[in-house]
Chain A
Amino acid sequence: MTEAELIPIWISLKTAGTATLITFILGIAAARWMAYGDFKGKNLLDGLFILPLVLPPTVLGFGLLLIFGKNGPLGQLLLYFDKTVIFSWSATVIASTVVAFPLMYQATRAAFEQIQPNLEDAARTLGAKEWTVFWKISMPLAWPGIAAGTILAFARSLGEFGATLMLAGNIPGRTQTAPLAIYFAVEAGRSDQALKWVLAILLISFASIIALNYWKSRQYSSWRNGQPVVKEVVIDAGYRN
């Protein structure tokens, strides 16, 4: 693969990496807020968070164009600071983040909700501040779900096509991610070229899933798979003397 051929792969990795990082933080924050909070309009907000998952990417891309375009609310705000995001690398990140967010949010929220409330309460009676409860109890216990959400979010960002094309366009060297490059190579009849990128994406996706799976299972296998190894002895030595 020549250096020029590597560029779309590099853009894809950069985009997916950045989008996953943003989704990771926003997804956990939103999930934590929705799993523990109780307020009016919670279901409505939940629907809004999940929406990008069920919308066609082109609809999403069009919506994002309306929001970030010259006349859109965020577009206007950015113009005020003399910036535009349409057809820039940032646009690929925005599109990927929006489509990946629901996957991260859903997996993480489910993971928080299946934690026994007694565990968090126990930590509170033992003097833990809410922040400590979150970091020492909720996060580690929700970890398998969070890791699964992260894998899915990364994979989804890496494969993002429709919304990216609409919001960021297909500018080689700037916004042309691997999925876009593959599409336009096939369209131009350069199938051998497309195959190289297909193999590269296949490799990255598969490797990242294997790596994250390994990382996830390593950390907590000791307690997750823990079986009672000893039965209680009826009378311990030294008891009742």
Chain B
Amino acid sequence: MLDIEIKKSLPGFKLEVSFAVEREILAILGPSGCGKTMTLKCIAGLIQADEGRIALDDRLLFDSGSGVNIKSRERNMGFVFQNYALFPHMDVFNNIAFGIRQLPVEDIKEKVRLWLQKMRLSGLEKRFPGQLSAGQQQRVALARALVSEPEVLLLDEPFSALDSIVKERLEEELLEIHEFFPGHILFVTHNLAEAYKLSSKIAVYEAGRLLQFGEKEKVVNRPSNRVAARLTGVKNFLPAVVQEVESSSLNLELSGLGTRLKAGKVPGEKWESGQVVNLGIRPEYIRINDNGENLIAVLVEEVIEEISSYIIRCSLAGSGGEKILEARIPRTEAVNLSQGDSCQFCLPADKIFIMLE
């Protein structure tokens, strides 16, 4: 288990996070400059936190209280930098071998050969980084980080410099690596789809704070507040008042409109009637002209065509164009709407989540 608790003052904001992960893939998600990379550098020991504690299983790596601060070189962590940071003056072989220089020559050769093979780099060992494509560079960086068998693999925006085809392949590769790499993997990204696809847990950052942390399904489907919801791609928020509380659901009334809606409720959550809340729903869960419950009359404001879906932006009937809902409808569904049409949105009760605000 990797246990992290760090505080660090940075120009413009204060980084203050704490979380713990098992041997699994964690995605750290957030906008640029929110402290994601700084967290990785603190874990790797490249930057010292002002206060806090970092422990890997029983091993204390950093503790401001007792003054423990294990040097980066002794932490045994693989770090893949955003631009890969391959040594430009060394060929592929020597780049990969750098972390195991102290081993006997035969062992070095054997291990490097193995990793060249695993990363499909065989035949490129004499090339210099400047002679490799971006995807090959990244595979060299991964091999270099993994050859010394670290317990933690830290990846700083590993896919941001790649075009989409190479990116997709390397994402699959990371999942494969997890199968033979038994350690912790932490990777930083600002792309939700990437985070969801690759990780089992997601940590959502904003301005140095941890907004939400947990299983990816929960982070995406049950955000705890509006900022976290927005960062995970939720576009629709509507203020409402709780009318009745039932064992597994809530009856809500949209503020100012009087429309009644039903929303799913996680057992154990405490709500009271009369409470003012915010409901949220992801665009892809809204259905159109359905016969279910929770129907809302809307007026089409805009239809945007994407490769595989339509984005339909509507205003709520009776809101005077003030309240907007956005739906993402797959193109497989025949949608024949254009600006000015009226239709009905269906908001499935189990997809609506409630936030106190």
Contacts and interface: CB of A to CB of B under 8 A. Distances in A.
Contact of A125 (B79, B102, B130): B79
Contacts of B76: 127
Given A124-B73, A129-B73, A229 B131 contact: yes
B191 interface: no
Nearest to B82: A118
Contacts, number: 93
A241 interface: no
A124 B135 CA distance: 24
Contacts of B30: none
Nearest to A238: B120
Contacts of B41: 121
B183 interface: no
Given A118-B83, A122-B85, A125-B77, A227 B169 contact: no
A121 B87 contact: no
Contacts of A140: 89
B89 A126 contact: no
Interface string A115-152: 01011011111111100000011001100000000000
A126 B99 contact: yes
A232 B41 CA distance: 30
A234 interface: yes
B165 interface: yes
Chain A, interface size category, equals 20 to 34
A227 B131 contact: yes
Interface residues of B, number: 41
B46 interface: yes
B294 interface: no
A226 B131 contact: yes
Q: Which of A124, A126, A127, A227 has the most CB of B within 10 A?
A: A126
A136 B79 CA distance: 18
Given A121-B46, A127-B73, A223-B128, A232 B136 contact: yes
B317 interface: no
Contacts of A238: 120
Given A125-B79, A239-B169, A223 B46 contact: no
The 5 A-B residue pairs with the shortest CB-CB distance, nearest first, are: A226-B130, A126-B99, A232-B133, A118-B85, A223-B128
Interface of B: 41, 44-46, 71-79, 81-83, 85, 87-90, 98-99, 102, 120, 127-136, 144-145, 148, 165-166, 169
Interface of A: 116, 118-119, 121-129, 136-137, 140-141, 220, 222-224, 226-232, 234, 236, 238-239
Given A116-B85, A226-B129, A239-B169, 14 more contacts: A118-B83, A121-B44, A122-B85, A124-B46, A125-B45, A126-B73, A126-B99, A126-B148, A127-B99, A141-B88, A223-B129, A226-B127, A232-B134, A232-B136
